Chain A
Amino acid sequence: MTLLEENAILVSVRDLRKHYADIEALRGISFDILKGEVFGLLGPNGAGKTTTIEIIEGLRQADSGSVSVCSLDPASQSAALKERIGAQLQSTVLHDKMRVDEALNLFASFYRHSVSVPLLLEHFGLVEKRHAFFEHLSGGQKQRLALALALVNDPELVLLDEPTVGLDPQLRRDIYALVEHFREEGRTVLLTTHYIEEAERLCDRVAIMDRGRLVALGTPRELIAISGQRTRIEVRLAKPAAIDHLKLVEGVIDCHEAENVYVLHVQSAATAISPLIRYLESEGNIMVDLHIAQPSLEDVFLEMTGRRLED
């Protein structure tokens, strides 16, 4: 790593381990987050994403390993660190009768440096709701308030734990726009998600986690390229077919079966489809369903773990 790269590192995680009773939540993960990048932790529920982000926030203590955030140790320099980071929890709960502007003013008062509350209200589209009680906000408004609270101290690093979980597609897109705006402002963002679309669209780099391990790390494009993923033809057949015979069809590089679906990896769908249909006709078999998919992070996850992200 060059000196320039070292200076650009805002978060450094080394061999982080954490267990709860008999469960090993983190099994020695390491990664760096560079200044100004949007870094994603992608993985299914129980992968260890929230534990990782909470250790970085200073909310939990790791069993072993080291973490440096903004050149501070979250465990021993928690108060100083909290001045420089802003975090949004998976679910933010405030007192039912607390008004939106009161919450922002109250939390802004805890920091040495804070952003103007009217600006935050405007930026997060909460001006009309500034006098509303927390209990009267919709799910999306609560999430926007949670993001505004995370930005109240104008942080260098923004940590977002599943920022769009439970939101409808429109609200999800609103949150995407806000995160993209953070990037334009030059802020560093660490977000956890189990949505492929979110990671692919928002993240400069993604760390894929599974069962407490980091299984892949890179830009979405790099991950797809490194994994050697190719276009997939997924077919459901009327009768079972022999995998070895399918592998011999022209244009097919590899083939496997998952959940009664035959997945054929091909260089090009256009050149492989006709030979495949001819082969099936010769076998007296027909396609019940056909799906052509370009490679994605989902495929990377599938390849790395042998499971789908939703599993």
Chain B
Amino acid sequence: MPTLRIALMTIRLVMRSKIALFFTFFFPLVFLFVYAVLFARGNPEVVAYMFGPVVTLNIMGSGFWGLGMQSVMQRERGSLRRYRLAPIGPGTILASNLLANYLLELPTISLLLFSSLVFFHMPMRMGLSTLLILVTVGTFAFAGFGLTISSVANTMQEAQIYNNLVWITLLFLSGVTIPLPMLPGWIQRLAMFFPSTYLVSVFQASMLQTEPILSHWREMLVLIASGAFGLLFAMRLFRWEKEERISTRARLWAAGFVLPFLIMGTWMNTRANPTAGWGRSYGFLEQPSNSPLNPAEEPISIENFDGLQASSDLLSRWKITTNSGATGQSMAETSLLTPGADGTPHAMRLQGRLAPTLRNTGYVSAQYQVRVPPDPRELHGIEFQVRGKPCIDQVSFHPAGATVSSTPAISFVPGDSWQEVKLPISWLAGTSKNGPANGLWVLEILVNQPGDFTLDVDEIRYF
């Protein structure tokens, strides 16, 4: 009971700290969006590949920087001393810290999953129970790291040094940031000694190859051993007060923490061939997807501008509006461009100037009415080709006649060459608060950065 009470109090205290809230909930989302937008470029299959590393990164962060540092900080500040006077032991303190860390991890992972599914349309081939098991085992394993480091570090500074040494190694050499098949062979062999490698590879095997988690029981066992060893050392080396220093002998004893990884790494290097599995997961990115969620059909074209003869014809299909605010005047015009993307006959050019306003509320909007197909369940969203002067533009898809869209918009920056923009729209596959996905909808491209702009658009279609 004291364990649960302290854990709940810890969670409450985290909720009161803006910095802790930022690093617990917002920061992991930043990583997801960086991975999904910059690396995966919104490709759902690549997002699925990246999901495991993002979750692993988050689990590692909470173990090293959350639980581990928190334990040292409690001791350094002297707040553990008060607990020492109560009839509770080190086990209660450690268990409550572990529990709080785990309970804080669950909503974070849920947020990551929700964002991956909704914003990036990630195909979820892994069962929720598998995800929960991996998160639970992973959190326990890296809690072991955090607890071991907090046990052997005498000060916060020392703990930061140890943390950084291990953290950076695991971050770059175990598939968390760089896919392992992209790394040289000798690094791949080295990676077999790192627990984050096991977690990332099991995540990717489950997510991409739908392999059952039991086929990776050895990796799971080592991760559990990591947590158990960490807890054991933390119990044995627990210190209530900062004045209590750890002896060199105890530090050497704690070095036994690496034993399961040495055994596992040696076994993997000599008896197993995990690189083949890593390669299979990685290969999914380059093969045509066989996901049942992916439509087998060709993309359905919405507008390719090829049937038009003159620029004036564009105005019959596109509605251009501006709102420059009170202090300036904006203008925009459309023209037919030849050739279009990939050498097609035509594309549309939207060109003009957006006057600066006091609060930058001005915009130029190009709207195109779309009729959603009768059976949109197999569609993922809308994609189109753009190029133009680099500035931040936005695109959204909302019901016709809606004054304020409650649907999400995504931003993009065009460049000199044609590039593809994907607008994932998960609710096309069902009903949502936006209403049934049928009838007339509007694709709206919005320019709201003051100054001259040029934006070429072509090949608008469902994917």
Contacts and interface: CB of A to CB of B under 8 A. Distances in A.
Interface residues of B, number: 21
B263 interface: no
B222 to A, nearest CB: 35
B431 interface: no
A31 interface: no
Contact of B85 (A57, A80, A95, A106): A57
A82 B85 contact: yes
Given A97-B17, A111-B87, A92 B82 contact: yes
Most chain A CB within 10 A, of B1, B77, B86, is at: B86
Contacts of B86: 82, 107, 110-111
Nearest to B1: A109
Interface stretch (B5-13, B45-53, B107-115, B408-416): B5-13
B338 to A, nearest CB: 64
A98 interface: yes
Nearest to B86: A110
Interface string B1-43: 1100110010011001100000000000000000000000000
B212 interface: no
Given A106-B5, A109-B1, A79 B79 contact: no
B430 interface: no
A98 B13 CA distance: 7
B82 A106 contact: no
A91 interface: yes
B18 to A, nearest CB: 11
Given A98-B9, A109-B1, A110-B2, A93 B81 contact: yes
B6 A106 contact: yes
Interface in A218-242: none
Contact of B13 (A91, A97, A110): A97
Contacts of A109: 1-2, 5
B88 interface: yes
25 contacts: A79-B87, A80-B87, A82-B85, A87-B85, A89-B81, A89-B82, A89-B85, A92-B82, A93-B77, A93-B78, A93-B79, A93-B82, A94-B79, A94-B82, A95-B79, A97-B13, A97-B16, A107-B82, A107-B86, A109-B2, A109-B5, A110-B2, A110-B86, A110-B88, A149-B82
Given A93-B79, A93-B82, A97-B16, A106 B87 contact: no
A240 to B, nearest CB: 48
Interface in A84-135: 87, 89, 91-95, 97-98, 102, 106-107, 109-111
Interface string B68-93: 00000000011101101111110000
Nearest to A107: B86
B17 to A, nearest CB: 6
Interface string B159-180: 0000000000000000000000
Q: For this complex, into which size category does the number of interface residues on chain A fall? A: 20 to 34
Given A91-B78, A97-B16, A98-B13, A82 B87 contact: yes
A84 to B, nearest CB: 10
Nearest to B80: A93
A94 B77 CA distance: 9
Nearest to A112: B87
Given A109-B5, A110-B2, A83 B87 contact: yes
Nearest to B9: A106
A151 B177 CA distance: 53
A57 B81 CA distance: 12
A102 to B, nearest CB: 7
Nearest to B8: A106
A59 interface: yes
Contacts of B9: 98, 102, 106
Contacts of A83: 87
In order of increasing CB-CB distance, the 5 nearest A-B pairs are A82-B87, A93-B78, A110-B86, A97-B16, A79-B87
